[in-house]
Chains A and B, each alone.
Chain A
Amino acid sequence: DAGVIQSPRHEVTEMGQEVTLRCKPISGHNSLFWYRQTMMRGLELLIYFNNNVPIDDSGMPEDRFSAKMPNASFSTLKIQPSEPRDSAVYFCASSLGGGFGANVLTFGAGSRLTVL
């Protein structure tokens, strides 16, 4: 298995532009997580899905952020419009899920976003 695949690896955009980050989880994993990492705030959970259904999106900073998981093998995180404070590394991770004690995550390599 190629692991969790994220694209793009790097994105530089201007304030106000739409940004779409993509993730392909490990086949057979039924939970998918989006995290954001910054020096100031560390790793923050933005949203997670179980069986393609969003379970908890309380970490999504504001309405400019949205995430979808149309099928078990693909998820997107969209920021529209983007702002300089959105600059961070965004990680996608997947797990077998299943509840108690089963959330061992496999992370992608991350998408480094810079908003000018």
Chain B
Amino acid sequence: SQQGEEDPQALSIQEGENATMNCSYKTSINNLQWYRQNSGRGLVHLILIRSNEREKHSGRLRVTLDTSKKSSSLLITASRAADTASYFCATDTYSGAGSYQLTFGKGTKLSVIP
């Protein structure tokens, strides 16, 4: 079952603009991660934010986490055509017996127009 749900499903912006994607989830998490997937490729890890963190930066990426609202956002600043990809949030949750599961949403498809 889906834990994270991204919003919007698709986003189209001009190069140089900022892109914001949101993720909502249902149950308590240990951490939340964002991944990128270029067409025809595997997913690539971008950033991880722990449940006790509120904001994290990595280059042009900014991630926020609000555990009270069970939501996260990914901001890409000064977008480039190369940022065109699908972006997924993934929640790391304890699934019992000492094991942890990473569950992905369906993704936001970002198109950056040169």
Closest beta carbon of chain A to B70's beta carbon, Å? 18
List the B side residues contacting A93 at CB < 8 Å. 42-43
Contact between A110 and B100 (Cβ–Cβ < 8 Å)?
A: no
Residues of B within 8 A of A (CB): 2, 30-31, 33, 35, 41-45, 48, 50, 88, 92, 95, 97-107
Report the Cα distance A45→B88, complex, angstroms. 14
Contact between A103 and B100 (Cβ–Cβ < 8 Å)?
A: yes
Contact between A104 and B97 (Cβ–Cβ < 8 Å)?
A: no
Contact between B44 and A45 (Cβ–Cβ < 8 Å)?
A: no
Instruction: Evaluate whether A56 and B95 lie within 8 angstroms (CB atoms) in the complex, with A43-B104, A101-B50 already known.
Output: yes
Q: How many A-B residue pairs have CB under 8 A?
A: 57
Closest beta carbon of chain A to B100's beta carbon, Å? 6
Is A34 part of the contact surface with B, judged by Cβ < 8 Å? Answer: no
Instruction: Evaluate whether A55 and B43 lie within 8 angstroms (CB atoms) in the complex, with A42-B107, A43-B88, A101-B31 already known.
Output: no
List the A side residues contacting B99 at CB < 8 Å. 48, 50, 55-56
